[in-house]
Structure 1
Amino acid sequence: MKKSLKEMNIFAAQIRKAALRAMNAFHGGHVGGSMSMSDLMAALYGEVMKVDPKNPQWEERDWLVVSKGHCGPAVYGTLALMGYFPEDELDTLNKEGTRLPSHCDRNRTPGIDMTTGSLGQGVSAAVGIAWGMQYQKKPNYVYTILGDGECDEGQVWEAALFAATKKLGHLIGFVDYNKKQLDGYTKDICDLGDLRQKFEDFGWHSQEVDGHDIPAIVAAIEEAKKVADKPSMIVLNTIKGKDCCFADTFYNHFVRFPEEDYEAAIKELDAKIAKLESEG
């Protein structure tokens, strides 16, 4: 890895802090899913993706389509830490005139490659972008992040079939498999069974790893890049609300929270960062 494991874990904790800062300005937000995908965001922007924060439209960049667009706070936190825009803008989430709306919007936010929000549509856009890149013989990778509840959408599987048919080897997807959706466990609402196997059955190269183990995520991406004739899906086993003390509740999809809960969560993350920094 280019960065040490300590540096990557600190970056993930900082992403969680930045996402919580943004949501605190609105006194609530999609805390659970933003926390569960933060380690992936650290891996992508801290280690894997070819990007240039000073030139967000750089033609040689890798693209990221966050199909679970309601988890914009984790994306905004990452982009701010990377220098796409000032960190103070995190305090404007959902406010009038903001560049940081509730869901990811490519027309407003520097560094957002595709507007998303209606679940299932982002992955279709990612497939189309990857197909366009392949047609133009461009080397760019296209990454996309889905929620596990989002995989209830039939459009996801139409996109999966098309991507496999077109052999989109530069498309790498992730399912944030935190096992919960808006109002319960995914298995109780619409049981999709073994997601890794399902994507494999749809013609994808599929893997399953611990979504909070950054080296494992990076290794899975490198393995995916070895497969030239198939799209790849990496199912990430995650915990909804990971490392956020007040999100340790059953219904933690969208959480309203007072200032004291926010301060407690930041204190806990600061302690984690301090411990990481003290390690050899």
Structure 2
Amino acid sequence: MRCDLLSARALRPLGAGVLLVAASVMLAGCGGGLNPFKSKKAEQPVGDSRPPEVIYGEAETLLNEQDWKDAAKKYEDVDVNHPYSTEARRAIVMSAYAYYKNGKYPEAISAGKRYLTLHPGTDEAPLAQNIIAMAYYDQVLDPKRDQTNARESLNAYETLVQRYPTSRYSAEARNRILILRNLLAANSMTIGRYYLRDHDYLAAINRFRDVVTEYQQTEQVEEALMRLTEAYLALGIVNEAETAAAVLGHNFPNSKWYQKSYSLLQKAGRSPHEHAGSWITQTFRGEGNPA
């Protein structure tokens, strides 16, 4: 094709519209093959093609500098650009740690869970489980608030102790399990007392029952048994009231809560007596939690 411009006289018979199209085609051909419609996006480099150990090293440097946000991003770059490398595996759990340190708890939990799904039996697995538990734990509020995070943290710490009992994190996990159990028991007691004051005795009993069955080793169980005595008496379910007081007296004879439950029964002309068919008796004898 000739690249010299045609004269206006030669193109005039074609009409103005065809003239513009023809001129555009000729200009494209005269541009040495340059395509004016080529996407600029395609010209941009995709990802980071540098060796994974180089990117991972940069992430380590950022972590040491406590630049948690950029460190997390850089660790993710390792996994995204070199998913099958040796560095990618540890980069996932380290991104979880960096997210946790940056207060990005949902991201930390997500990364930790992803690591455990992909690499459950590795040396870093206890660390990933611990990060998940800590991320939930740091979101725990006081006993009067919703305790979803406390339950999630408790489950995560219990899993940590069960799966990795000799890990470096297990001792702290056991301490936090005790704290969380007491917190959840206190939460149930707070709600149970509210129902009791509102004379919603069945709802109150369900909350106190949670404490007795799920958190029997906490300090809240003594009051829970006394409140069960109170609530069952209010409903006229005397056998359960007597049993609650009897179990309380047997296990905590010097408790102030036993004295209160004993006084409640005396006013009703009753006394503590353990009934074999009671769910309370079965629970404390280790016979399960009857429905």
TM over 0.5: no
Q: Hey, which of these two has a bigger chunk of strand by percent?
A: 1
> Higher RCO, 1 or 2 (CA under 8 Å, sep at least 6)?
1
**TM-score of the pair, normalised by structure 1:** 0.23
Q: Hey, which of these two has a bigger chunk of helix by percent?
A: 2
